[in-house]
Amino acid sequence: MVNNTKLSVPLFTAGLAVVLGLAVSASASAEQVTVFAAASLTTVLTELAQQYQKQYPADQVRLSFASSSTLARQIAQGAPAQVFVSADLKWMDHLQRQGQIQPASRLNLLGNRLVLIAPAAQARALSLQPNAAWATGYRGRLCMGSPDSGVPAGLYAKQAWISLKLWDQLKGRVVGTEDVRGALAFVERGECDLGVVYRTDAKDSPKVKIVATFPASSHAPIVYPAALMPKPSQSARRFLSYVKSPAAGQVFVRHGFEFKPK
C-alpha cells in the first residue's frame, strides 16, 4: 500500500495559479483564458504564456497547475477552465465521457519519459532491469505521485515497477505525493532518497540527477492531450492554437518534451 505520509509542505499544491496579464487601456477588449494544466507543465507553459501575451497583449492568461486527476475532478465539479492539458489520456477521456470538453478540439500534444532521480550530491547510477538486486535491500524513501489518487506520474510509475518485478520490494518505501512536482521537491530537499518524475521535471532542477530512465515498454505511453471546454472564449481558442504551433513546439522541445501534435 502506498504510504501517503506528508514529509513537509510540498512546493507545488493543487490548484497553484499563476496569472499573467499586461496592462491594457480601458478601450481595449480584454479577455481572460483560464488554463488547467498538469503540474509537470508549470515551467514550460508559464514561459509560453508570457510569449503568447506579447502577441495578444489584451488577453489575460490564468494558469492553474496541479495533478491531472485533481484538475479533472475540479472541472467535473464546475471549475471555470477553458483549456485543459492532462498528463495522461485517462482523465481527458473521463471529461469527454461527461461532455465537458469539446471533442473536435482534442489533440495529443506532447510526449515525455519517466525517470528515477536522486539528490544531486547522492546520485549514483541504478539498474532498471527486471528484478534489479538493489531494490531488495532499499531502505530509503521513494517519492512518486500517489497512484491511489490517480496522479498520472504515479500510475505510470506503478505500472513500470510492476512490469520490472520490483513493486513488491519497493511499495513499502513509497511516499505518495499530490503531483509530480511534489515528488521532485521532496528529492530536491533530500527528504526522499529516490523519486520518480518525468524527464522534463528533472531537467528543470539542478538539485537532482537522473540515475536511471525507465524502459518505455515498462509502462503505457506518456501522452499529454489538450482540449477546449464546450464553450471556449476566443482567447482560449487562440491560446490552444498557439501552444500547438511550431514556435511553441521549439519551446517544448527545449524543455525536454516530445512535441507531436495530432
- pLDDT mean values, one per 10 residues, the chain (262 residues): 35 44 39 94 97 93 96 96 97 97 97 98 94 95 97 98 98 97 97 98 96 97 97 94 97 96 89
Residue 188: per-residue pLDDT: 98
Q: Which pTM value belongs to this model?
A: 0.87
Residue 77: per-residue pLDDT: 95
| CA atoms of 128 and 133, how far apart (whole Å) | 10
Backbone angles phi, psi at 177, to 5 degrees: -120, 165
Residue 17: per-residue pLDDT: 54
Name the nearest CA neighbour of 55 among 232, 229, 241, 228. Answer: 241
In CATH terms, the fold of domain 114-218 is D-Maltodextrin-Binding Protein; domain 2 (3.40.190)
Render the burial of 161-178: b for 16+ CB within 10 Å, e for the rest.
Answer: beebebbebbbebbbbbb
CATH topology identical between 16-111+224-259 and 114-218: yes
Class of domain 16-111+224-259: alpha beta
Cell of 132: 534489479
Rounded (5°) CA angle 131-132-137 = 105
Cell of 210: 537522473
Domain ranges for the chain, please list them: 16-111+224-259, 114-218
